[in-house]
């Protein structure tokens, strides 16, 4: 029986080590901020920029800050899935490529998800405690979103 357990553990170790060979491409523009990035399209106050960087950009931009555990499978694959899905729903790095109507819709959805405590995801804030939005940060972010939405509606 002990021999069988050792064999299973050895095979598990080999599979784990082989999994490490698969490393998907990283989501990084290497610090570049393109002209269509939200920070280039709209003026963003420093406090709002800090909130967005800390709580949003890892999954919703092209500049993810990868932690040490992102080099270990299967955590890497799990993270890449979240990042891919996040960028499909909202990509701050591509903000300027969205139509004004789409920008308004995105801002409305962001506000609703912040109010409902749906963003940032609990699975993200579990490890990234600094990404949890407190009441003041939520209020600041929602006020900024409202200002940007108002400016968009004046354009349309």
Contact between 86 and 60 under an 8 Å Cβ cutoff? The reply is: yes
What pLDDT does 19 receive? 73
What's the pLDDT score for residue 140?
94
Whether the pLDDT of residue 89 is over 80: the answer is yes
| CB-based contacts of 28, cutoff 8 Å, min separation 6 | 62, 63, 64, 66
Whole-number Å distance between alpha carbons of 98 and 109: 14
Q: Where are the domains of the chain?
A: 1-155
For 46, half-sphere exposure in the C-beta direction (CA atoms, 13 angstrom radius) is: 0
Q: Which pLDDT band, with edges at 50, 70 and 90, does 30 fall under?
A: low
SS3 content of the chain, % helix, strand, coil (to 5): 65, 0, 30
Least confident of 14-18, 136-140, 147-151: 14-18
**pLDDT reported for residue 138:** 93
What is the length of the chain?
A: 156
């Amino acid at each position: 029986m002990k021999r069988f357990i050792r064999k299973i553990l050895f095979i598990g170790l080999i599979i784990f080590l082989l999994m490490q060979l698969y490393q998907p491409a990283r989501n990084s523009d290497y610090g570049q901020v393109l002209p269509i990035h939200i920070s280039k399209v709209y003026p963003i106050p420093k406090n709002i920029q800090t909130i967005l960087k800390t709580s949003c950009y890892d999954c919703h931009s092209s500049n993810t800050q990868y932690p040490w555990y992102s080099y270990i499978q299967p955590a890497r694959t799990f993270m890449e899935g979240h990042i891919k899905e996040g960028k499909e729903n909202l990509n701050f790095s591509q903000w300027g490529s969205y139509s004004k109507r789409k920008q308004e819709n995105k801002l409305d959805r962001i506000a609703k998800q912040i109010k409902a405590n749906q963003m940032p995801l609990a699975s993200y804030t579990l490890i990234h405690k600094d990404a949890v939005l407190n009441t003041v940060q939520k209020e600041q972010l929602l006020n900024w979103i409202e200002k940007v939405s108002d400016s968009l509606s004046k354009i349309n």
